[in-house]
Structure 1
Amino acid sequence: MKIAIFTDTYFPQVNGVAQTLKRLSNHLEKKQISYQVYSPENKSSTTYPNINQFPSLPFFVYPECRTVITNPRKIENNLKQFKPDLIHLATPYMMGLYGLFAAKKLNIPVVSSYHTNFDQYLKYYHASLLEPFLWKYLKWFHQSTERIFVPSNETQRKLESLDFRELKVWGRGIDSKLFTPNIDAKEQIRRKYHIRENHILLYVGRLAPEKDLATLNDIVDKLPSNIKESVHWLIVGDGPNKEAWREKEKSQQNITLTGYIKGDDLARIYAGADLFVFPSYTETFGNVVLEAMACGTPAIVANEGGVKDFVIDHINGRICKKQNAESFLQAISELLFDEKMRGSMGREARIYALTQSWDTIFDGLLCEYCEVLQTRQGLNKKYA
């Protein structure tokens, strides 16, 4: 089996789609499955085997996705040489369009995946009027493919309500050896970031409006004084709202912005935090939430989005009303004052994470690829 992957974002970019696709390509290598990735070129691009990069510009809604400008014939010629059995369109924008048109022209089976709720992003970028046109486009794009992979049951239900067909859940896994509990982590990060407060509250993610940072800001500001004095916030990430949070960091002693962090350093921060606070309700999955859980840190999340697939309220975390700071404040207060409950939720979170291996997730995707190919072969024989 040969697989061609078309995506508007790829490693080393730091977002869920890019990281997942890099893991997928690693898995294909491990399984000795030939693949080629077609992606935009940008200032952080690195040369990798099997990666075909094209000149690009940042996409206005989500700069980490790039708009590729190239000659379609160049892509077609490359595909003719590679001769893929199947094309996977990981994103629905320019790179995805190039892949779709090439697949149709060359009669190659094609599947797609839905990763991001861009419809919910539009209001944060004052572009809500575009939503009907966006859905019309997304439906045309995805229904032009033979299978649509979604990261969670919640996302599947959403798209089914909009009459999308041929949906299959392709979940996300976790490296539970990297992201693991660490009893020394709290003291290590306290020393590194000069933290004196008793408790550490953590946010990891893009510093952008669509992550509902407005609610996070309210949570930080409205913590009761007896709690505020005993907690320190670690804000991990980067994005367009970084400067606003830098100003907040300057005005409040109990906030530290770290910028982007990855690998062992990130795992140590997860493991050293008392609670992971993540108010975003636009997630189709929520990779960072599963990472925190794998480190034994209970997550407090919103009651909308893909995180509901694996955060079980009062068992391995807390689910709060979206855009409701008071709901989050109550959950934070309860868990900080109840160490026994916090420990129990952390253990349950870790137990769940251990069941979500990347190998199992990707092997399931490969089985889906095979089913698509078998169905296409069956149709070809039927109409031969």
Structure 2
Amino acid sequence: MNDIPRVALFADTFHETNGAANFLRRLVNFAKKKEHPFMCIRSGEKTGNFQDGSVSFLDLKRGRASIPMDGALRYDPFLWKYKKLVGKTLEEFAPNVIHITGLNDISQFGYYFAHFRRIPAVATWHTNTHEYTAQRLMSVLPFVPGNVRKKIGKFVEYAVLKGLMKLYFLAQMQLAPNEELVDDIRRLTRRPSFLLRRGVDTEFFSPTKRQRDDDEFILGFVGRLRPEKNVRFLGQIETAFRQANIENYKFLIIGEGSERSWLEKNLRSASLTGEIFGEELAKAYADMDLFVFPSQTDAFGNVVLEAMSSGVPPVVMSGGGPKFLIDHGKNGFVADDRKDFIETVVRLIKNREQLPALGQSARLFAQANSWERVFEKMFEYYKMVVNFRKGIRA
């Protein structure tokens, strides 16, 4: 008997440029490569069904009333007009697991049909919405005293997290990319919650793609240029460089967002490329000397792992998920606060001879986190949730 579960994935994001979409595209490709029965329900340019190998697709076109969310992601309050189509497609595919990826319009179908058709559901956590919401609120309250603003931020963060958990509770199993989130979700939902890290393509992101042979020190950042990514902090790093009389450096900043104009205006030595992809991105990573990632709201930090795969040691903050990728002082550094972050970067730029060993250790860590292993584990969790429903213990 074939025990490979029939999975229906409800993908809130798929075509966009972000870590969650990258994860979901790779998951679909893995299912196709392994010839697993798989369905992906996602947004598309036109509504319709089609087949690609073992993977069935249902694309739903969002309407003109769609509301812009984060970046290119949108929310269509009228997407429920496709309820019958989604129901019919699910009935024909007959999944025994539903995979929900968030709280947006597509995932709402997943929660609905999992509940009313009694299909076990797995929910994967991709975005720290509670922290993003608090950070964005605090960024528009500059007139509020700092200690009061922090209290407001903490209150909003916890309130949003509790609200999120009421929806995540509807899934029988939760998967999160770092240990802190796993513990929080398990405590607040009282549902089985497990760790599922993200992976990296170590052949694609490789130090062998480095092309530079000059002595300019390149500090890299990759990601959305948004307030919650704390990118203005790069300006404080540059101020510290000037105070320490450090020269011959450049920030290489890859990504788009509302903070780009501020960075262009305030950083003296920086190259802002916008979004780049493919080999151009892989070569850009490999040409970096140090990866600086000041965000404290990322659930995982795919870009940190991509930098490590490229042989580039990262410096990250102690908040958020990226710290769980770092063996402090061996393959990168976790800064306790802003002061520690700046001091660490200044120390490394003054002691560049430490970087090759750090980069080699970072590369070794990345090689142990392949996408193949991640998705094999994902399918183990699918089987586990089916067994939960059957009352079987794996």
SS in 1 for 2:391: helix
Shift of 1:93: 2.2
What secondary structure, in the 3-state scheme, does the structure 2 residue paired with 1:239 have?
coil
Distance 1:9 1:228 in 2: 42
The residue type paired with residue 283 of structure 2 is R
Which residue of structure 1 aligns with residue 11 of structure 2? 7
Quick check: 352-361 or 333-342, which moved more? Answer: 333-342
TM-score normalised by structure 1 residue count: 0.87
Q: 1:328 to 1:42 in 2, by over 3 A?
A: farther
- Counterpart in the other structure of 2:200: 174
Equivalent pairs counted in the alignment come to 362
Match of 2:318 among 303, 307, 320: 303
Question: Which residue of structure 2 aligns with residue 340 of structure 1?
Answer: 353
- Distance (Å, rounded) in 2 between the aligned partners of 1:294 and 1:101: 39
| 2:159 pairs with 1:144 | no
- For the Cα contact (< 8 Å) 1:207–1:213, is it kept in 2? yes
1-structure distance, mates of 2:245, 2:281: 25
Question: Are 1:76 and 1:102, in contact at CA under 8 Å, matched by a contact in 2?
Answer: yes
Give the C-alpha shift of residue 349 in structure 1: 0.4
Secondary structure at the counterpart of residue 182 of structure 1? helix
SS in 1 for 2:208: coil
Q: Distance in 1 between matches of 2:282 and 2:235?
A: 24
Deviations 1:88-127 (A, max 9, x none): 0011222111111012222222111111111111133328
Q: Which amino acid in the other structure matches residue 200 of structure 2?
A: I
Shift of 1:176: 0.5
- Return the letter of the residue paired with 2:264: R
| Aligned CA distance change for structure 1 residues 89 and 163 (closer, same or farther; 3 Å) | closer
Counterpart residue number, 1:41: 44
Matches within 5 A, 1:91-110: 91-110=102-121
Unpaired stretches in structure 1, ≥5 consecutive residues: 191-196, 380-384
CA, structure 1 residues 88+30, in 2 after alignment: closer, same or farther (shift >3 Å)?
A: same
Unaligned 5+ residue runs, structure 2?
139-152
Counterparts of 1:288 and 1:365, CA distance in 2: 21
* Cα distance, 1:228–1:74 mapped onto 2, change above 3 Å: farther
Structure 1: 4+ residue segments shifted above 6 A: none
| 2:255 is the counterpart of 1:237 | yes
Alpha-carbon distance, 1:152 to partner:
1.4
3-state SS of 2:207 partner: coil
SS at match of 1:20: helix
- Aligned partner of 2:142 in structure 1 is none
Read off the aligned partner of 1:291 and give its amino acid letter.
E
Are 1:205 and 2:220 an aligned pair?
A: no
Task: Tell me if 1:376 matches 2:389.
Answer: yes
Partners of 2:294 and 2:316 within 8 A in 1: yes
Per-residue CA deviation, residues 295-333 of structure 1 (Å, 9 max, x unaligned), is: 1101010012111212111110111134x1x32221112
Distance across 2 between alignment mates of 1:184 and 1:279: 24
Amino acid at match of 1:52: L
Q: How does 1:108-257 map to 2 (within 5 A)?
A: 108-126=119-137, 131=157, 134-162=160-188, 164-182=190-208, 184-187=210-213, 198-225=216-243, 228-248=246-266, 252=268, 254-257=269-272
5 Å-filtered alignment, 1:240-319, equals 240-248=258-266, 252=268, 254-319=269-334
Asked if 1 retains the 8 angstrom alpha-carbon contact of 2:241 and 2:247, the reply is no
Kept after mapping to 1: 8 A contact 2:254/2:275: yes
Give aligned-pair identity as a percent: 29
Q: Which amino acid aligns with 2:315?
A: I
Cα offsets for 1:18-53 (capped at 9, x unmatched): 00000000110111112221122369xxx9843322
Give 3-state SS (helix, strand or coil) of 2:232's partner: helix
| Residue identity matched to 1:39 | R
Query: Which shows bigger deviation, 158-167 or 313-322?
Result: 158-167
Residue 98 of structure 2, aligned match among 80, 87, 102: 87
